[in-house]
Amino acid sequence: MDGFTYINIFDTKGIEYLVIIGFLLLLIPFWRSLNKPLTVRAKVMSTLGVLTSNILKVPQGLFYSRNHTWTFLEKSGVASVGLDDLLLHITGQVHVNNLKVPGDKVRKGERIAEIAQNGGHLLIKSPISGEIQGVNKSLREGVGALNDDPYGGGWIYKIKPEKWTEETNSYFLANEATLWFKTELLRFKDFIAMSLNKYSPETAMVILQEGGELADNPLSGMPAEVWHDFQEHFLDKVS
Amino acid sequence: MNNQNAVLAKDNDGMPVLKFLAEAIKPKGTFFTPFNMISLPIMVLGFVIIVIRFIKGIGAVTNLTQEVPWGLWIGFDVVTGVAFAGGAYVITFMVYILNMKKYHSIVRVTVLNGFLAYVFYAGALLLDLGRPWNVINPIIGNSFGVSSILFLVAWHFLLYMIAMLIEFSPTIAEWIGNQRARKILSGMTLAAVIFGITLSTLHQSGLGALYLMASEKIHPLWYSEFIPILFFVSSIFAGLSMVIFEGSISQKVFDSQISEKNHRSHDGILHGLSKICTVTLFIYFFLQVLTFVHGKHWDLLNSPMGYWYLTEMIGFVLLPMGLFFYSYRKQNIFLIKLAALITMIGVIINRLNVTVVGFRWDAAVHYFPSWMEIVVTLTVLFVEIWIFRWIVTRLPVLRDSPSWVKKQSSKL
C-alpha cells in the first residue's frame, strides 16, 4: 500500500471544485433556455410565418375594391365575388355566413356576408350591384378553399352585374393592386399598434416587438373590440 | 443677483424667482389621502422620538447594548436601504455605458430614488452615532482613520451622493428653465456616471466588509469572508427589483405625468429587467452554495437557524429566480412584479439576518428593536417618499422634458 494516501474530499476542497464544475455545467442549459426565442413569438413565426406584401397573391385580370373584396367577370356574363388575399392573411381561417340567397338583388356596398372566427366577426360589402346567381356551398363544409385559393375555389357569390363598367372603373387592377396592398399593410400596422394598445397593451408588445414585420394572421385571437375597429377602419369607411 | 434674476425670470415665462419658489412650495393634489393619513401621525411621532434621542441619548429610545451596538437603524435603514438604491448604478450603467436606449425613460426616476435613498438612509446614520457631530472627521481629516472600512464607506457615500446629484441636476435645470446650466450639467453626466459606478461597486461590497470585523458575533451560516462579494451581487437584483416595484407604483400614482409612449414601453422595460434579475439571482445562489460548502457548516443545517437559512435560500433566492425565469419566458408582467416583491423581501431578510437576526445569536438576551426604533425607521421611509413625491410632481422626472431641451440636444 505504499504510495497510497487517503484523500479527504473536504480537506482538499474537492466539493468546492465539484460545485464550480456543476455550476458551469448548469449554466449552459440555463443560459440556452433563457435565451431561446420567446415562446409566443417563436410559435407565431414558425407556424404562421411573417406577413409582408411579398407573400400576397395578386392575380391579373381581377378588379380589387377598397373594401377588400374582388370581382371577376366571366365569359358567361356572371361575375364572381370573393375576399382578397390580404384580408384573409390578416384574419386567418374564418367561417363564412352568407347573408343572401340566389335570386336576391344586391346593391354595391350592401352587406352580403359575414366572416367570423372565435369571438371576432366582420361584415363584407358587395363590390357590385346585381342579382345573386349562386352561393359557394363548399365554403360551408370546409373553410380551406377560402384561404388556400381565395381567387378560384374561394369565391363567395356569383352575381349577374347590372352596372359593371360604371361600378368597377375605380377598382384596382393587378399592378395598382399590388401597390395598394403595400400601403394597406402599412396602414394596418399603424392600426394594430394603436388598437391593441387601446385594448391589450401586453399583446402589442409581443406582436410588434422590435418594430419588425407583422406575424401572419395578426387579427386571429385578438379581442372582439379590435375586430370591430378593423371593420370600421378597413371595411366600412372606404367606398 | 440682478443678473441671475433676469435669467430665471426670462426662462420661466417671466415669473420672478420668489413667486416661482412660492409656487413650488404650495402643495398639489388632494391632501386627505389614505397614505397621508397613515404616514403623517407616524412621522410626527417619529420626530418626537428623534428629539428625545438627541436629548436623552440612544439608550433612551433603542434596545441597543454594548454587546449589540448596531441594530435596526443600521441593519435596515443603511445596509438594506443602500442595497435597494443599487438600481441607480445598474440602470445608469446600462443606459450610458452599454447604450441600451430602451431603459432611458426610467433613468431619472431611478437616479432620484437612489439619491434620496442615500441622503436619507445615510442621514439616518447620524441618529445612530453617539457623537453625530464627529461624522465630519473622516472628511475634514481631523482623524481620517484610513485603516477603517468606515473611512471608505464615509467617503464613498459622500462622493456618490455628489455624483448622483450631478446625474440628476439637468432635471433641476430644466425645471427652473435655465438652458445654459442644463447644457453644462448634462455635459458632466457621463463622467458622473462612470465615477458613480466605480464608487457603487466598491461601497456596496464595503458595507458587507464592515461586518468582517464582527466575525465572532455573526452566525456562521451568514458569516463568511465573502460577504462583500455576496452584498455586491445581491445589490444588483435588489436594486432592479426596487426599480420594478417602484416603477409599477409610479405608473399608477403618477399616471398623468407619464407620456403615452413611456406608458407603452414600461412593460417592455420590466420584461428586460426580469432577465437580468434571473441571471444575477442564479449567480448569487451559486455563490451562496459555494460559500456554504467552503464554510463546512453542514451540521448547522439541522438546527433552527439552519432551517431559517434554508428558508432564505430556497424561498427567497431560488423561488424568485424560478419565478423571474418563468415570467420572462411567458412575458407575464404580473408574475415579474410578484417575483420582484419576493426578491425584495428576500434581500431585507438577508440583510437583517447578517445584521440583526444572526448577530449575537448566541447571546443570553436577544436584541429585538424597540417600537420607537421601528417608528423612527418608518419615519425615515415616509419622509423620503414625501420628498420623492414632491419632486416628481414638480420636476420633469417622469414627464417629458420641456420642448427647448430637444432643440438644445439636436444642436449638440
A18 inside domain: no
pLDDT at A46: 43
Banded pLDDT at B6 (limits 50, 70, 90):
very low
User: Comparing C-alpha atoms, which of A137, A133, A159, A146 is closest to residue A80?
Assistant: A159
pLDDT at B125: 84
Banded pLDDT at B403 (limits 50, 70, 90):
confident
Q: What is the pLDDT of residues B361-388, one digit of tens each?
A: 888 778 889 999 999 999 999 999 999 9
- Evaluate whether B94 touches B106 at the Cβ level (below 8 Å): no
| Number of independent structural domains in chain B | 1
pLDDT at B332: 84
C-alpha cell at A93: 381561417
- Residue B205, Cβ neighbours under 10 Å: how many? 19
User: Comparing C-alpha atoms, which of B87, B103, B400 is closest to residue B268?
Assistant: B103
* Residue-number span of the structural domain to which B307 is assigned: 72-360+383-398
Banded pLDDT at A98 (limits 50, 70, 90):
confident
The backbone torsions φ and ψ at residue A73, rounded to the nearest 5 degrees and listed phi first, read -85, 120
CB atoms B264 and A201 under 8 Å: yes
Model ipTM value? 0.73
User: Comparing C-alpha atoms, which of A191, A197, A200, A202 is closest to residue A231?
Assistant: A191
Buried b (16+ CB within 10 A) or exposed e, A151-186: beebbbbbbbbeebeebbeebbeeeebeebbeebbe
Whether residues A154 and A84 fall in one domain: yes
Q: Please state, in angstroms and rounded to a whole number, the distance separating the CA atoms of residues B66 and B367.
A: 11
Q: Is the pLDDT of residue B167 over 80?
A: yes
Measure CA of the first residue to CA of the last residue in chain A; give whole Å: 99
pLDDT at A213: 64
Residue predicted with more confidence, B120 or B15: B120
- Evaluate whether A111 touches A124 at the Cβ level (below 8 Å): yes
C-alpha cell at B168: 440628476
pLDDT at A216: 72
- Tell whether B249 is within 8 A of chain A (Cβ): no
Angle between helices A14-35 and B260-295 (to 10 degrees): 160
Q: Is the pLDDT of residue B64 over 80?
A: yes
A35 inside domain: no
B270 inside domain: yes
Q: Please state, in angstroms and rounded to a whole number, the distance separating the CA atoms of residues A40 and B252.
A: 27
C-alpha B220: how far from chain center: 27
Which of A145-154, A200-209, B399-408 is the least confident region? A200-209
| Amino acid residing at B406 | K
- Evaluate whether B64 touches B371 at the Cβ level (below 8 Å): no
- Tell whether A20 is within 8 A of chain B (Cβ): yes
pLDDT at A200: 59
Q: Please state, in angstroms and rounded to a whole number, the distance separating the CA atoms of residues B161 and A90.
A: 54
pLDDT at B320: 96
Q: Give the domain-ending residue among A118, A138, A171.
A: A171
- Tell whether A197 is within 8 A of chain B (Cβ): yes
Alpha-carbon distance values, B120 to B77, B161, B373, B385 (Å): 8, 11, 15, 10
A50 inside domain: no
pLDDT at A79: 92
| Amino acid residing at A160 | K
CA–CA min distance B41, chain A (Å): 39
Whether residues A164 and A147 fall in one domain: yes
B113 inside domain: yes
Q: Is B327 helix (H, G, I), strand (E, B) or coil?
A: helix
A44 inside domain: no
Whether residues A112 and A212 fall in one domain: no
Whether residues A155 and A197 fall in one domain: no
Q: Is the pLDDT of residue B174 over 50?
A: yes
Whether residues A100 and A126 fall in one domain: yes
| CATH number of the domain where residue A125 is located | 2.40.50.100
| Residue B367 burial (10 A CB sphere; 0-12, 13-18, 19+) | buried
- Evaluate whether A74 touches A95 at the Cβ level (below 8 Å): no
Question: Minimal Cα distance from A19: which residue of B?
Answer: B290
Which of A6-20, A160-174, B193-207, B373-387 is the least confident region? A6-20
A225 inside domain: yes
A11 inside domain: no
Nearest to B329 among A20, A39, A204 (CB): A39
- Tell whether A202 is within 8 A of chain B (Cβ): yes
What strands lie across the sheet with A63-64, from one edge to the other?
Answer: A63-64, A69-73, A79-83, A157-161, A130-135, A105-106
- Residue B115, Cβ neighbours under 10 Å: how many? 22
- Tell whether B267 is within 8 A of chain A (Cβ): yes
Whether residues A186 and A120 fall in one domain: no
pLDDT at B88: 93
B368 inside domain: no
Taking contacts as CB-CB distances below 8 angstroms, the residues of chain A near B264 are: 197, 201, 204
pLDDT at B235: 94
Residues facing A82 on adjacent strands:
A70
Average pLDDT, chain B: 87
Which of A46-55, B38-47, B329-338 is the least confident region? A46-55
Taking contacts as CB-CB distances below 8 angstroms, the residues of chain B near A34 are: 275, 278-279, 325, 328-329
Q: Please state, in angstroms and rounded to a whole number, the distance separating the CA atoms of residues A46 and B65.
A: 66
| Residue B374 burial (10 A CB sphere; 0-12, 13-18, 19+) | middle
Nearest to B331 among A27, A197, A206 (CB): A206
| Number of independent structural domains in chain A | 2
Cell match 460577504: residue?
B227
Buried b (16+ CB within 10 A) or exposed e, B267-289: bbbbbebbbbbbbbbbbbbbbbb
Q: Give the domain-ending residue among A171, A204, A220.
A: A171
Q: Please state, in angstroms and rounded to a whole number, the distance separating the CA atoms of residues A68 and A88.
A: 9
Cβ neighbors of B106 (< 8 A, separation 6 or more) are B91, B243, B247, B269
Q: Give the domain-ending residue among A171, A197, A213.
A: A171
* Residue-number span of the structural domain to which A183 is assigned: 176-235
Banded pLDDT at B401 (limits 50, 70, 90):
confident
CA–CA min distance B45, chain A (Å): 44
Q: Is the pLDDT of residue A72 over 80?
A: yes
Whether residues A79 and A112 fall in one domain: yes
CB atoms B271 and A205 under 8 Å: yes
How many A×B Cβ pairs under 8 Å?
42
- Tell whether A9 is within 8 A of chain B (Cβ): no
- Tell whether A23 is within 8 A of chain B (Cβ): yes
Residues facing A135 on adjacent strands:
A157
Whether residues A220 and A123 fall in one domain: no
- Tell whether A40 is within 8 A of chain B (Cβ): yes
B152 inside domain: yes
Whether residues A217 and A129 fall in one domain: no
A15 inside domain: no
Q: Is the pLDDT of residue A143 over 90?
A: no
| CATH number of the domain where residue B251 is located | 1.20.1630.10
Q: What is the pLDDT of residues A1-53, one digit of tens each?
A: 566 666 677 666 788 888 889 999 999 999 998 888 765 554 444 444 567 77
B77 inside domain: yes
Cell match 400601403: residue?
A183
B82 inside domain: yes
A7 inside domain: no
Which of B65-79, B90-104, B157-171, B225-239 is the least confident region? B65-79
B101 inside domain: yes
Structural Rg of chain B based on CA atoms:
22
CA–CA min distance B264, chain A (Å): 7
- Tell whether A17 is within 8 A of chain B (Cβ): no
Q: Is B331 helix (H, G, I), strand (E, B) or coil?
A: coil
